[in-house]
Structure 1
Amino acid sequence: MAIEIVIGLPHLNEGPVLARARSMVQPALISANALSRWSKVRGWPEWRGWRLGQLGNAQGLSSLDLDSAGFVAMKRYGGYAWTVDDYFRLASAYPFRRIASLDYCTEHEIAGEREEVLDRISRTIRANRDCRDRARDLGLADRFMPVLQGRMPVDYERCAEGLWWSMQPGTVVGVGSMCRREVAGPAGLVAVVEHLDRILPAGVRLHIFGAKGAALPWLKGFGDRVASIDSQAYGIAARRDAHRRHVSKTDVLVADHLQRWTRLQFQRLREPARRMAPNVPPAISNPPLDRWEAAIAIARAEVRALIESGDLDHEEVTIGWIEQWAADILSAA
């Protein structure tokens, strides 16, 4: 079964990009942020709901997937501007093929410290549970796509364990925080996929968000485990091309790069499958903790468990709250 190439669309405006995507008969993906309405009346961006009318322009695409725009939300706005209910109002407004869960990305520019990575994995587990429940309520469970997050390969395993209910044969699971990741290396894209291939049940397939096209020959080596990839890398190529030639980055130029990029991916898929030597992940150092640091670690672990189970809203958690929890642990010792 061939890996499917999914085109990441920058918008759903009628014009050259959308027309080219239709003519290519390729599955497409749109970000929730691309369908958002924003206002700067008060001097800063305020989210004002969805531009649902644009969804009518998606007619004629072979299929359309919906992404929650996790990285953009964290990078530009410091978090999601929309709730789970908001997101599923959008998800239920069009027959999307796949509806990706909200998730909490772990790129270095978003999560600089190890504890923050672990916190974001727990938040991702909770977000998946909330999105699954809403998808069931709305009759969209068959289109819901769980999403895994992590930094190291073992992090993705931890996330998959928290989402055990979704790891069923026939399920396509999204793998996040991939678009800025190197292909090789102990924490590279291939190492993550290799680890998931070993620990996930047979029949669970992966969609790699933002995978580098250069990874395709390596991903072919995992047989049917990898279902699809998506990317908007052609937009970056169009920007560079316009800058180099001192021309405007028009939608016609972007459409040309879209088609060129897609052809290149199919060329890569025709290359022989490649396999890398197994990587040994670097050990995660755990320096000795004093009593206060140990209490903080216990408090964080207990809070993460409550977030994952749905007994605590992660928005309620603050550093002061964690410290008070740790102080209670020490006083009870």
Structure 2
Amino acid sequence: MGRTGEIPMNQVNAIVPDRMQLRVGIPHRGGKLAVHAFEHGYPVMVSANAFFDPKSETFKVPQYSPLQDMDVALDSAGFVALTNFMAKGPQKGAAGIYPWRYGEYLELAYLLRPSWFAAMDLCCENGATRGGIDTDWRIRATATMLEGMLDIIEAWQEEYAKDVSATTVANDLKPPVPVCQGWVLDDYLKSLDLTMEVWNRHAWLAPPALMGLGSTCRRDLHHPKHGLFAILDGLDGRLPAGMKLHCFGVKGAALDLVKMYPFVAGSDSMAFDVTARRKAFAAGISNTMEHRSTVMTNWMQVAEARMRPQPGDQFRLTF
């Protein structure tokens, strides 16, 4: 992988940890919450929306942020695209839903240099799909957006490889973590098939080591059709060999069960911040950064305890 003039083959999209990892969501592009997470060694998830300036309609990356020295994953802000951007009407960016284009998002990812970054996707909660009417379109559009991003990355890599080694190309212009979308199991299986069809068209990619599982945070965990565990049970044995999942926004109370699935690599949550607001309101105190930081620590300690192996755990076997 040292020669110039060619892009590297078998590029890996993420380094997957040995055991399940919980990332704490940071709502800002820096600041005291990020410093607190840094000081405690927490892996972090940050949204692209934190860096977006709606006035200039561009991403603003601070000259220095503690996030630059942390284990950070970048989320494409698909849910924010639904709740915030669409309320303002058609957007200038991807699918008319995002306010930024593929290339702008990729530039942000390559400037931030996160541990991994999610591909742009379209969430499939009922509120986004008009009760399921638009689910199929959003699944197909998510695969189309992945194709668009991979085409751009490949073109950038080919140009970059004219001047630098293939190793540098692979380090500087990494492929994204694709996101599997849906509401019920059949949706996710269709999304998985479309995602792999797109991915396999790009010969320079290794099979994805990590894939995101989207639209998991706002649902009944145990519903027989659209519950998280119904989805995970249905995906068991259907994922390509070696692939693991990052489950976006899984509730903390579910972690002691989610950890039983050997193909789940991790999750993320900003639940601590909601808890901080509620506790501050109930106590009649200001929801200061110090208060939010304390709640973050307590919340992460409880969540990490839930993810640790315990006597009597019934871990699922992989065949």
TM-score normalised by the shorter chain: which range applies? Answer: 0.7 to 0.9
Give the alignment's Cα RMSD to 1 decimal: 2.0
Alignment of 1:229-244 (within 5 A): 229-244=267-282
Distance 1:128 1:206 in 2: 17
| Correspondent of 2:313 among 247, 253, 273 | 273
Distance 1:71 1:274 in 2: 33
Matched, 1:77 2:85: yes
Aligned to 1:315: none
Shift of 1:141: 5.9
Shift of 1:68: 0.5
Matched, 1:6 2:23: yes
Matched, 1:22 2:38: yes
Cα distance change on mapping 1:55 and 1:131 into 2, 3 Å: farther
Distance 1:170 1:113 in 2: 31
Cα distance change on mapping 1:135 and 1:230 into 2, 3 Å: farther
Shift of 1:263: 0.5
Contact kept, 8 Å, 1:73 with 1:80, in 2: the verdict is yes
Contact kept, 8 Å, 1:12 with 1:55, in 2: the verdict is no
Contact kept, 8 Å, 1:221 with 1:275, in 2: the verdict is yes
Q: Which runs of 5+ in 2 are unaligned?
A: 1-17, 87-96, 158-168, 201-205
Alignment of 1:89-104 (within 5 A): 89-104=107-122
Alignment of 1:165-184 (within 5 A): 165=197, 166=199, 171-184=209-222
Distance 2:54 2:57 in 1: 5
Aligned to 1:34: 50
Contact kept, 8 Å, 2:30 with 2:67, in 1: the verdict is no
- Say how many residue pairs are matched: 266
Contact kept, 8 Å, 1:35 with 1:54, in 2: the verdict is no
| Correspondent of 2:57 among 48, 51, 55 | 48
Q: What is the TM-score when the length of structure 1 is the normalising length? A: 0.75
Secondary structure of 2:265 counterpart: strand
Cα distance change on mapping 1:230 and 1:95 into 2, 3 Å: same
Q: What is the TM-score when the length of structure 2 is the normalising length? A: 0.78
Q: Which runs of 5+ in 1 are unaligned?
A: 40-46, 277-333
Higher helix proportion: 1
Distance 1:6 1:36 in 2: 21
Contact kept, 8 Å, 2:180 with 2:188, in 1: the verdict is yes
Shift of 1:143: 4.5
Distance 2:73 2:152 in 1: 17
Distance 2:222 2:211 in 1: 22
Matched, 1:125 2:163: no
